Amino acid sequence: MDQPITTIEGLAQDGRLTPLQQAWVENDAMQCAYCTPGFIMSATVLLRTNPNPTAQEVAQFLQGNVCRCGMHSRIIAAVQRAAALGKGRP
């Protein structure tokens, strides 16, 4: 049975970033951005299942994603910013 797959390119609609993507930009949560698509897709799933995660919950959920540029604290802040706005869901 075919199942739909959403990639990072499928999140933004009509050229408009999702609130989570916008929070990523506003929090400077990327340097080289190699890890960004994976983190944003994982964080999107997190916010769909837990719209108000603690920093510890965000870190635990995203532990399978690695940022070699060391942006983890900003990444967690971006996820929590999107959650705080109640706009974490794309």
**Binding positions for ligand FES, rule: CB under 6 A:** 30-35, 67-69, 71
- Residue 40 CB, nearest distance to ligand FES (Å)? 11
Long-range contacts of 68-74, Cβ-Cβ distance < 8 Å, separation of 24 or more: 68/32, 68/34, 68/35, 69/30, 69/31, 69/32, 69/34, 69/35, 71/29, 71/30, 71/31, 71/35, 74/27, 74/28, 74/29
**Of 72 and 81, which has the nearer Cβ to ligand FES?**
72
Q: Least distance (Å) from ligand FES to the CB of residue 32?
A: 3
Q: Which is nearer to ligand FES, 29 or 47 (CB)?
A: 29
The nearest distance, CB 28 to ligand FES, in angstroms, is 10
